[in-house]
Structure 1
């Protein structure tokens, strides 16, 4: 990991900009983190003041009853 960062720094100093692939990895990673975090937040218990709010249609519903049943059997 450190080697990759050192190469990116060297490329920045030599050429003045980061390679497109290096930048694309960070952009895609950021979008994935925001998407996964949003889904997890919307499927968690609602914070104070948000109890009556509806979940957006684009957020998939996660069924946690199966997880609870498997824990009770153990």
Structure 2
């Protein structure tokens, strides 16, 4: 199955699998970035906030 993107002169065909990989990659990058942000030093005003239960603790002393 292909997704057609109509242009002024030419129609481009993008495989649906390429779009699916891009969407899954974006979601994975956002999730991993969120975990990294939660495990980093807290910004001003967020030092006393609780860490969500789904975010794992990472030992940085190793």
Unaligned runs of 5+ in 1: 1-10, 67-74
Q: What corresponds to 2:8 in structure 1?
A: none
TM-score with structure 1 length normalisation?
Answer: 0.66
Q: What corresponds to 1:39 in structure 2?
A: 35
* Larger RCO (alpha carbons 8 Å, 6+ apart): 2
Of the three residues 16, 19, 22, the one matched with 2:15 is 19
How far residue 14 of structure 1 moved from its aligned partner, in angstroms, is 5.0
Distance in 1 (CA, whole Å) between partners of 2:46 and 2:26 is 26
TM-score with structure 2 length normalisation?
Answer: 0.78
Runs of 4 or more consecutive aligned structure 1 residues displaced over 4 Å after TM superposition: none
Distance in 1 (CA, whole Å) between partners of 2:12 and 2:43 is 49
Matching of residue 63 in structure 1 with residue 59 in structure 2: yes
> What is the root-mean-square deviation of aligned Cα atoms in Å?
1.5
Which structure: greater strand fraction?
Answer: 2
